[in-house]
Amino acid sequence: MGRPLVRQEGSMVRLDQKMRPHPEVVDTEFESGEGVLLHLESKTYYSLNLTGMRIWRGLKQGLTLKEISHNLQTEFEVDEERAESSVLTVVGELSQQNLLQTPE
């Protein structure tokens, strides 16, 4: 079953962690920047909004959460606190859904 990935307050991840996408997850992205993730083991799929997809792309590129936050600040002209909060909540939710591997 699929469902939208909803941001939730509070997460167990930290900015000094580096996370990687789970190898059993495939994704696709639209021109609008929104995208869909599919976990092949659980056969579940998730939709990501523009910000979520930017964060996912950063994780695929092997960036640290801090670097991803910095990219968000530059691209969307948001302050550091807001960007970091976005990264932490999205990454926390992705982890909860087993879409990311154990932090290094």
Partner 1 sequence: MDLYTFHGLTLEVKQEGQETGESLTRLLPFLSFARSRARARTPSICLSVRLDGQGVSVPPRAHEVFESDGLCGLEGGEDFYLTEGSSLFHLQPLRGQGEADLAPGFFHQPPLLQYKFWAVGLLKLLRPLGVYSLHAAGVVTHTGLGLLIVGESGSGKSTLALGLVRQGWGYLSDDTVLLRLQPDGVEALAFRKHFHVAPNVTPGADLPLGEAMPDLSRRRRRIVDMEEAYPGQYIAGCTPRVLLFSRIVPHAHSTLLPLEHPQALWRLLSQSGPQLFDRGTMGQQLEALKRLVQQTSTYELLAGRDLYQDPMILMHLLREAEGEKRWGDHSSGKKDPWSD
Please report, as ranges, the residues that interact with partner 1 according to CB under 8 A.
1-2, 4, 24, 26-28, 30, 32, 34-36, 38, 40, 43, 45, 47
Of 53 and 87, the one with the shorter C-beta distance to partner 1 is 53
Q: Please report how close the Cβ of residue 51 comes to partner 1 at its closest, in angstroms.
A: 14
Least separation in angstroms between CB 32 and partner 1: 7
- Nearest to partner 1 of 41, 75 (CB atom): 41
Size of the chain, expressed as the number of residues it contains: 104
CB nearer to partner 1: give 17 or 47.
47
Angle at 77 between CA 88 and CA 75, to 5 degrees: 75
The span from the CA of 23 to the CA of 6, in Å, is: 22
For residues 73 and 101, which CB has a smaller minimum distance to partner 1 in the complex? Answer: 101
Q: Do the beta carbons of residue 71 and residue 55 sit within 8 Å?
A: no
Output the smallest distance, CB 16 to partner 1, in A.
32
Burial code (b: 16+ CB inside 10 Å, e: under 16) for 28-46 equals ebeeeeebbbbbeeeebbb
